[in-house]
Each structure stands twice: as structure tokens, then as C-alpha cells.
Amino acid sequence: MSLFRSAALILDEGKLPSTYQEVEWIASDTNQWIDTLYRPNIDTELIIDFQDTSTSSWENYFGADNIYRCQRYTTYQSQFSWIPDGSTAFFNINLSTRIKLKFNKNGIFYEDGTALLNKTISGVSPNQNLVLFNSYYQSTLDMGAAYTLYRFQIKENDVLIKDFIPCYRKSDNEIGLYDLVNGQFHTNLGSYSFTKGNDVN
């Protein structure tokens, strides 16, 4: 497998090392979070396949700090905000069912390329790494999210640089995300544990 790969919006399933077991999904309850070890820039594209499971009115799905994050704001599973460069754009979408979205410097798009939100980003300079299931506010984690994650990818200029697969480590049943591109297993840095779906054969 090459270090960098061009890819479709959501790739066909890759093969994990034999010491890991792929699962259908992992899910958080607001207490868990994962560091992607990646700091976004103007050319970053984020691709997420997920489903909101929270009843909270405020939560951070992912983000790097207060000027780069996606969060739900005030209205249950309806109104959301995308803050990619310090300026906030609100959008309405129902995330109570599974959905695949793409975030980049031109806005937010559905899997088929249809625009959900057109927004031109002027600059990106977050001070923290991008984290999943939460976001930093300056240097402090802010408000965790509860959702089911099926896949998360990071691209730059249409080149895939992170490809996170839900899985668990067979030796100790630790649940997390395996990055197929870089060969790294990312585990929960918060409290309690993720839950997981069925094994993928």
C-alpha cells in the first residue's frame, strides 16, 4: 500500500493488519475523543460517514480549536455550525440518520457532490491537532459529542493522507480507529470506552 492515495469520497473497505479486527462502527457518549495527529490547513478536505445519537443541544463533532470546528448549536439534530476559518456559517440538516458529508475550502457537500453549504474559506490556522468526537476551544477540550462513526478521511488536494477505520485491537479488545494510510492505531484519550458494532468479515 502506498503512503498517499487518491480516493473516492468513501473508499472500499481496506484490509487491516491481522492483529486488528474491523467493525461496522464505533460510538461515543460525549466522554471519548481521538487525536488524528493532523493539523488542518486551507487545502484540507474532511470526509465523514456518521450518525448523531445525542439528545444534547450543544456538542462538537470534530475540530482543531475555536476557529476550526463543526458543532451542533442549540437545536436538537437540526441546526449546526461550521467554523473553518474563524467565521461561523449555520446550516440545517437532519443527522438522526446515517449520512456522508464532505467539508472543504468551498463549503459542505453531500456524497454525490450536491452542495449543502457554499462557503469560501479565506484562511485556516488552528493551534491544535484535529480531534474527533470533540474539539478544542483554544487549548482546552470543549464539549464532547455522541455519535456513531463509520469512516473518517482526511485529504489534501484530492490526495488521501488519513483513512480511519473503526476496529479493535485483538490482544486487549481496545476499541479505536486504524489509519490505513499511515499504519497507526488511534485509541480513546478520554474517559470510559467507545462502543462498537459487529465485526466486518
Q: Which residue in 59, 35, 22, 86 sits closest to 142, CA to CA?
A: 59
**Span 95-104, pLDDT tens digits:** 778 999 999 9
Residue 93: predicted pLDDT: 81
C-alpha 135/C-alpha 43 separation (Å) is: 20
Summarize the confidence of residues 47-62 as an average pLDDT: 87
Span 5-196: which CATH code? 2.60.120.200
Q: How confident is the model at residue 140 (pLDDT cuts 50, 70, 90)?
A: confident
Confidence at residue 161, expressed as pLDDT on a 0 to 100 scale: 97
DSSP state letters, the chain: --SSEE--SSPPP----TTEEEBS-EE--SS--EE-S----TTEEEEEEEEE----SEEEEEEEETTEEEEEESSTTSEEEEESSS--EEEE---SS-EEEEEETTEEEETTS-EEEE--------SS--EESS-EETTEE-----EEEEEEEEEETTEEEEEEEEEEETTTTEEEEEETTTTEEEE--SSS--EE-PBP-
Max avg pLDDT among 35-49, 63-77, 108-122: 35-49
Checking if the pLDDT of 147 tops 80, the result is yes
pLDDT at 76: 54
Query: Domain limits of the chain?
Result: 5-196
- List, for residues 156-185, the tens digit of each pLDDT value: 999 999 999 999 999 999 999 999 999 999
Q: What pLDDT does 74 receive?
A: 54
CA–CA separation, 52 vs 78, rounded Å? 10
Mean pLDDT of the chain: 88
